Structure 1
Amino acid sequence: MQSSSDLFPVALISAELRADLSEDVYRLKPGNSPDFSVELALTRLGLAGHEGARGVPVVLLHGSFSNRRFWYSPKGLGLGPFLARAGFDVWILEMRGHGLSSRNQDYRHNQVADYARYDLPAVAAFVREQSGQVPHWIGHSLGGITLAAALGGHYLGEQDVASVALFGSQVSRVYWPLKMPPVAWAGRLLLKGLGSIPGQRLKRGPEDEPIGLALEGLRWHGLFGRFGDRERDWWAGLAEVRVPVLAVSAVGDLQDPAWACRKLLAQFGSPVQAFCCLGLQHGDASDYGHVEMLVSKAAQQEVWPLVSHWLTFGEVPAQRRADPAASPEPAS
């Protein structure tokens, strides 16, 4: 089959009409990482009958234990269809071994470092090639952390990213037991005996996660740990990033608290920054949780229009901007 790209082998594996939406699923084989078996599924959503019209491109990145269905349900609901119906050119990436992306040979050792260094730049290049524009990026949870790693590591730059929106994403929450070397050693020994972390069995989501991600997290949060890999300090690199950044947290998100999400935002050197905290105290319908901030009926009414406004105008409405002092970092 002829490749759909001049960059690397790309196959259009399905092209379907889903009510008022067109759904094209591409399989990318970038061949840019040490594991040449990596194949990535990238779904494009557009309006049926308007396939030739290209709006502003937006790339959506799911979090851990998840896949494209976080953004796009089989019934055509979700932030992805909402943005497509608003005229945006929507692209949904499924990480290695998730959803329609097959498990690569070295799946067990997959890490954020691989996603950031190899996969996101390949997706950025393909979307730019197809749309002729620089895409906006939206990441939830681990998807947002991966975006921060790619930007802080300078694997993505202004030629790849028009703006970034991070939902429930942070790397600053401290897990004190992991600072104790015996606990960290025991954790590594336990994890190395496993192949993957079962999402369904643990009731975390529909997908499994590779052990490599957990081991990487132990390094980040261990004694003298840092947000980075052996070659680059991603946290320090964020200070050099200049693309516009939106960070969104939720009062009911106990996994990624508001103060930590705001701390990640503050590390960016971007002159255009915005922060929102969703919750009753900020005039919202509920104290949103980690998932509910994007997947709920209330989010459909309150959060999705906020995203569209950000993508269109590069800012959030004045009434939605959070007070910097509203989510202080807890005392150590």
Structure 2
Amino acid sequence: MQSSSELFPVALVSAELRGDLSEDVYRLKPGNSPDRSVELALTRLGLHRSEGRRGTPVILLHGSFSNRRFWYSPKGLGLGPYLARAGFDVWIAEMRGHGLSPRNQAYRHNRVADYARYDLPAIAAFVREQSDQVPHWLGHSLGGITLAAALGGHYLGEAEAASAALFGSQVSRVYWPLKLPPLEWGGRLLLKRLAVLSGAGLKRGPEDEPIGVALESLRWHGLFGRFGDAGGDWWAGLSEVQVPLLAVGSAGDHQDPPWACRKLLEQFGSARREFLHLGRKNGFAEDYGHIEMLLSKSAQSEVWPLVVHWLQQLCLPELPVRG
């Protein structure tokens, strides 16, 4: 089959019409990481009556235990379709072994470091090739952390990212038991006996997570841990990032609290950066939870329009109160 790209092998897996939307699913095989079996699914959404005209590209990154359905339901609902109907060229990525992306040979050992160093740059290169524009990026939870790692590690820069929006993403919350070496070692030994963390078993979502991601998180939060890997200090690297940045925290998010999301924002060197605190005290309909900030009826009417405004203007509109 002829590749859809001149960069590396890409197969157009399907091309469908979903109501008013066109849905093209690509499978990328970048061959840029030590595990050459890695393949990444990328879903492109647009209005099928646009006569071939595509808007500004936006890449959406799901969080842990999730897949493309976080952004795009089978009924054509979600932030992905909303952005497509607003005229954006929407690309929904699925990480290794999630959704339509098959599990690679070394799936058990996958880490955020691999996603940031190899996968996101490949996705950026393909989207730029197809759209001839620099894409915006939006990540939720682990998707936002991965995006921050790619920016802090300088695997993505201004040539690959027109802006970045991080929803419920942080690395600063302290888990004190993990600061005690015996407990950290015990946790590491326990996790190493597993191949995956089951999303269904833990009631966290439809997908599993490779144990490599869990071990990596343990290292970040250990006594001498840092947000980075053996190749570099991503936290320190964020101070050199100049990409426009939006960070969003929610008053009802107890997993990734707003103060920690703001701390990640403040580490960026970007001259243009904004923090959005979703909650009743700031004039919103509810204290949104970790998922509800993007997946709820209130979010559809309150949050989604703000995302569109950010992508169009690289700033938020004036709000009565914004913390």
Which TM-score applies when normalising by structure 1? 0.96
Name the residue aligned to 2:262. Answer: 262
- What is the SS of the residue equivalent to 2:319? helix
Is 2:8 aligned against 1:4? no
* Distance in 2 between residues matched to 1:141 and 1:231, nearest whole Å: 23
C-alpha offsets along residues 180-230 of structure 1, whole Å, 9 cap, x if unaligned?
000010001000000000001111000000000000000000011000001
Alignment partner, residue 304 of structure 2: 304
- Aligned partners of 1:197 and 1:210 also within 8 Å: yes
Secondary structure at the counterpart of residue 318 of structure 1 = coil
Provide, for residues 112-157 of structure 1, a one-character-per-residue CA deviation record: whole Å limited to 9, x for no partner. 0000000000000000000000000000000000000000000001
Residue 322 of structure 2 corresponds to 322
> Deviations for 1:268-306, whole angstroms, at most 9, x for unmatched residues?
000000001111111111110000000111100000000
Tell me: CA distance 1:306–1:239, structure 2 relative to 1, closer, same or farther (3 Å): same
Q: How far apart are the structure 1 equivalents of 2:108 and 2:73?
A: 28
1:321 to partner: Cα distance: 6.4
Amino acid at match of 1:170: Q
Q: 1:231 and 1:278 mapped to 2: Cα distance? A: 35
Cα deviation code 1:70-98 (max 9, x no counterpart): 00000000000000000000000000000
In the alignment, residue 127 of structure 1 is paired with which amino acid? V
Contact kept in structure 2, 1:22 and 1:51, CA below 8 Å: no
Specify the code of the residue in structure 2 equivalent to 1:235. W
Within a 5 Å distance, the mapping from 1:177-256 to structure 2 comes to 177-256=177-256
Measured after TM superposition, the shift of residue 320 of structure 1 is 6.4
Instruction: Please give the secondary structure, in 2, of the residue aligned with 1:46.
Output: strand
Counterparts of 1:24-63 in structure 2, within 5 Å, are 24-50=24-50, 52-63=52-63
Matches within 5 A, 1:118-137: 118-137=118-137
Deviation at 1:318, TM superposition (A): 1.9
Q: Which residue does the alignment assign to 1:64?
A: 64
Once residues 252 and 223 of structure 1 are traced to their aligned partners in structure 2, the CA distance between those partners, rounded to angstroms, is: 28
5+ residue gaps, structure 2: none
Which SS does the other structure have where 2:229 is aligned?
coil
Determine if the alignment matches structure 1 residue 87 to structure 2 residue 56.
Answer: no
Q: Secondary structure of the residue that 1:277 maps to in structure 2?
A: strand
**Does the CA contact (< 8 Å) of 2:283 and 2:321 recur in 1?**
no
Q: What RMSD over aligned residues (CA atoms) do the two structures have, in Å?
A: 0.7
1:120-159 correspondence to structure 2 within 5 Å: 120-159=120-159
How many Å apart are 1:51 and its aligned residue? 5.4
SS in 1 for 2:236: helix
- The answer on whether the counterparts of 1:178 and 1:222 sit within 8 Å (CA) in structure 2 is yes
Indicate the residue corresponding to 2:77 in structure 1. 77
Identity of aligned residues (%): 77
In the alignment, which residue of structure 2 is the partner of 1:328? none
- CA distance 1:189–1:304, shift in 2 (3 Å): same
Instruction: Name the counterpart of 2:100.
Output: 100
CA positional deviation for 1:48: 1.3
Q: For residues 322 and 241 of structure 1, what CA distance do their matches in structure 2 show?
A: 24
The size of the alignment, in residue pairs, is: 323
Deviating above 2 A after TM superposition, structure 1's stretches of 4 or more consecutive aligned residues are 320-323
The alpha-carbon deviation at position 265 of structure 1 amounts to 0.1
Shift of 1:50: 2.0
Structure 1 stretches lacking a partner, 5+ long? 324-332
- 2:176 pairs with 1:168: no
* Counterparts in 2 of 1:51 and 1:216: CA distance versus 1, 3 Å: farther
CA distance in 1, matches of 2:184, 2:62: 28
1:276 partner SS: strand
Q: Is the 8 A contact 1:274 1:321 kept in 2?
A: no
Give, as a single letter, the amino acid of the residue that structure 1 aligns with 2:43: T
The letter for the 2-side match of 1:209 is E
* Separation (CA, whole Å) in 2 of partners of 1:18 and 1:203: 30
Kept in 1: contact 2:282–2:321 (CA 8 A): no
The 8 Å contact of residues 242 and 268 in structure 2, kept in 1 or not, is answered as yes
Alignment-mate amino acid for residue 311 of structure 1: L
Aligned partner of 1:326 in structure 2 is: none
Structure 2 SS opposite 1:134: coil
Distance 1:89-1:136 versus aligned 2 partners, 3 A rule: same
